[in-house]
């Protein structure tokens, strides 16, 4: 059944369909035809929003950055003082309502970009450089900030790739320890 709605709604549905396709069937199955079928659109409907597979993957990366930025903003609310950005970063990566729960689904763009054209990761790399610099200038020891970022990234990517993710109880303890470190001066 074709998807009806605004261009924004259709675009969102296409991005969701592409992410589901990568998550369930693998990046090798990511084609505009397959995404069109999954989204309930004609190929022309897909081409209206994404002229090429690369433009679709680029939009998936942009969507990941946008969702993570929204998580960061949400977690920055109420934070203040040294380490505030580090705590928001941790919560955005590891909070049960944040990015860790979206893992592969949201990260399908990263997986697709790595597999098809790693140059499509350039916007994510630029944003990541910004986040890293912001962590270094967060008013805490830069080594602590880097340790916090590396731990959060490691746990997040372990979830994305399904690699030896610690139990929920241990993740909660790790999270608490990392948050505690951001208050150290």
pLDDT of residue 178: 94
> Rounded CA gap, 34 and 22, in Å?
10
What's the chain's average pLDDT?
Answer: 84
Q: What is the pLDDT of residue 35?
A: 94
Indicate yes or no: pTM above 0.85: no
7, 15, 177 from 57: Cα distances, Å: 18, 9, 36
What pLDDT was estimated at residue 1? 39
pLDDT at 3 over 60: no
Helices and strands: H and E segment counts in the chain:
9, 0
């Amino acid at each position: 059944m074709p998807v009806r709605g605004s261009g924004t709604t259709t675009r969102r549905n296409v991005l969701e369909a592409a992410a589901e396709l990568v998550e369930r069937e693998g990046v090798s199955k990511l084609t505009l035809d397959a995404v069109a079928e999954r989204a309930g659109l004609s190929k022309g409907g897909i081409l209206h929003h994404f002229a090429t597979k690369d433009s679709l993957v680029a939009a998936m990366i942009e969507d990941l950055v946008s969702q993570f930025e929204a998580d960061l903003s949400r977690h920055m609310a109420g934070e203040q003082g040294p380490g505030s950005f580090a705590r928001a970063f941790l919560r955005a990566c590891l909070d049960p309502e944040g990015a860790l729960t979206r893992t592969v689904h949201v990260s399908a763009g990263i997986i697709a970009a790595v597999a098809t054209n790693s140059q499509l990761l350039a916007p994510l790399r630029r944003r990541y450089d910004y986040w890293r610099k912001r962590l270094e200038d967060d008013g805490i020891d830069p080594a602590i900030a880097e340790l916090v970022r590396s731990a959060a990234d490691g746990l997040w990517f372990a979830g994305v790739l399904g690699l030896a993710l610690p139990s929920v109880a241990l993740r909660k303890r790790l999270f608490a320890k990392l948050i505690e470190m951001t208050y150290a001066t």
